[in-house]
Amino acid sequence: MCLRVLIMRGFFFLSCVVACTVQPVTSPCPVQMNPPSAVVRFGDSFSVNCSSPSDQIESMGLESRYGSSMSSTGDSSVALEVESVRDWAFGPMCFLNHLRDGQCSQTLPVTVYSK
């Protein structure tokens, strides 16, 4: 009886380890940001465009601490312009609401420097 309990506990433990560590494979967010990364001088202007080759777009948008921009239904691109970058940590996020796969997002890496 004791051996049977140990075997059942071992099986339960292994099942839990497998269930907790295996993650589903997901595809990357189908957005392209232009530029793909940026280096901006503190105080300068900055712009970014986000687009997608997908034909299953419900909506898209770009968000940052300086404002946001939203596309019209079905549009496959959106742009954001910032007049003056005044923060050292700055990373605009492009999001896509996909008709089939839900929402995904990608953040643009931006390096802010001073003179």
Residue 32 to residue 20: CA distance in whole angstroms: 32
Q: Where are the domains of the chain?
A: 29-113
Residue 90 to residue 66: CA distance in whole angstroms: 9
Please give the residue that has the higher pLDDT: either 104 or 24.
Answer: 104
Please give the residue that has the higher pLDDT: either 67 or 4.
Answer: 67
Domain 29-113: which CATH number of 3.90.550.10, 1.10.10.10, 2.60.40.10, 3.30.565.10? 2.60.40.10
Pairing verdict, β 38-41 and 57-64: unpaired
Model pLDDT, residue 64: 92
- pTM given for the model: 0.69
Model pLDDT, residue 4: 54
Asked whether residue 24 carries a pLDDT value surpassing 50, the answer given is no
Q: How confident is the model at residue 85 (pLDDT cuts 50, 70, 90)?
A: very high
